[in-house]
Structures are given as structure tokens and as C-alpha cells.
Amino acid sequence: MSEPRPLSSSPRRSPNGASRLLELVVGPDAAPPVGLLADWYRESGAVIAFDEWCDPAVRYLGAVFGSDTDLATIEEAVVAFAQARAGADHTAAEVAGDLVALVRLAWPSAGNEWGGGIDPLGLLARALGAWAAERVAVASSVDCVDPSTGLVTARFLERRLHELHAQCDALAISPPMTFGSVLVQLGLDAVTASERMAVRVAAGRTLAGRFRAGETVAALSSSRTTTRMVAVMPAYGVDRAMVDVRNDLADLAQGEGVVLAVGRVPFGDDAGSTFTALVHATVG
């Protein structure tokens, strides 16, 4: 096998994290059939049989990476792949190893300038987030779901943050460089008591509809004057998501007299510091 090439030349990325990921990519002794999927299988170092490894999600992701397509479609395929792998009891390290191997094969001559604006570690963060979301038990009990917004509670979010930080630790990736969050704050001083619930429900549904790719959207806190919600997601998508959220909620804020503020809250170095930062952060 040739010497691994760095995944990214960006100074914001951890070189140790990239090296650790590439260590996951080893080749098995058995030579699989020829073709992109076979090459991917060999590079990934999968320990299961080729026929079992090459499920529909693998074939779809391989087809997307092998074609000239847009980033949104690639992200969608990555999420579907990670969710399918989680459902089949594959570990986060196995998902990471598969994805790194595919990225290396998809643009073999690209060096550090990946085609189509692809950020390999950003895609990995997306995959790990989707994997974790699928692995976490369905939030169906009262202590996991906020009744006024339909979003998961802060208690559920705290458990999820421990899962995401554990993944970063296992793969030697910096949490602040890998994940981030979009904080939404709704000022309700000018809203009547009968309208507050409607505003919270509408905002919760809007955010749940916006974030459908493995992000965790939670209701942090609510009071008579303020409601705070947060979307935890890969760091590379936070700026774009902030713009989208402002646009999504602009009509609600204008029509109901709600004061809308949207900001970012970076991850800390451990789950406790990240959760504390989210609980105490304010925007506006």
C-alpha cells in the first residue's frame, strides 16, 4: 500500500487527527474482485466478507463518490451509509475507516485540493453524528422529549454530547474542530401568554425540519420571556446553518413580535464543558 496522503492542508485541522484516521485503513490478505467497490473494500480493511460488507448503502455511496455530483447529495449518501452501518452494529471506527478509504480512492490525484469543495474530515464528522444519532435509543419517554417543542430535552442532549466526545477521543480528533452548535434564542416579552406555546411549537417544528442529517436539535430552556434551542452538528456546516435558521424563522419572528437571535457555541474539550457552555450561552 502506498504511503497515506494527508486528508487536508487546512491549518484548522489537527494533523494528529488525520494521521489517526488513516491508521484505521489497512488491507486484508484476501484479494476481492476488481472495481471501485472491491478497491474500497480492500482499502478499508473490513474483516467481514465482501458480500456482507457491500450492502445497498455502500453501493449507493460508492456510486455517488464515483460521479460528478453536488455536496448535498454526497452528504445525504454519507448520512444514509452511517445510519445503515449503525443499524448493522458497526462501530464508529469501522465507519470512519470505510469513509477515509473511500475518500482516498475517490480523488486519487487531488492531493490536498479535494474536488467539489469536499472537506474529508467534515464528511467524517457528518458520518459520526449520523452514526451516533442512530445508535442512541429513540427519544420516546417523557424525560427525553420536550412537550412544547417536540425536540429532545437538555438531559438527552447531555448524554448525546458524551457520545460525540467519546468518538472524538477514540479517533484522536479535536472536538472543537469537529463539532459545533447553532444556538437559537427567542425573546418572548412582546408575546401574549396564549401565543407563547404556539411560537415554541412552530420554532421546534421548523428546526426539526431544517436539521435532518444526523444533527441533534434540543430544547435547552424555556421561561416566560425566553426560549432557547440548539442544533449540534459538524463544525464545518455551522456558518451555513446559522444563515438558514435565520431565514427559516424570520417570518415567525416578524409576525409574532418575537425577538430572534442566532449564534454559535463551540464545543469544549470535554462533554461537561461543552454542556455547561450551551446551558449558559446567550446570543443577541
Task: Report DSSP letters for 48-84, one per residue.
Answer: S-HHHH--HHHHHHHHHHTS---HHHHHHHHHHHHHH
pLDDT for 97: 87
At 263 the three-state DSSP class reads strand
| Grid coordinates of 82 | 452511517
pLDDT for 192: 80
pLDDT for 181: 96
pLDDT for 27: 32
pLDDT for 174: 92
pLDDT for 9: 28
pLDDT for 138: 42
Ranges of the chain with pLDDT below 50: 1-33, 109-114, 137-142
Interatomic CA distance for residues 166 and 174, integer angstroms: 11
pLDDT for 107: 60
pLDDT for 136: 64
Domain ranges of the chain: 15-135, 152-280
pLDDT for 116: 52
Structural contact between residues 74 and 118, judged by C-beta atoms closer than 8 angstroms? yes
pLDDT for 25: 34
pTM of the model: 0.58
pLDDT for 143: 63
| Domain 152-280, CATH class in plain words | alpha beta
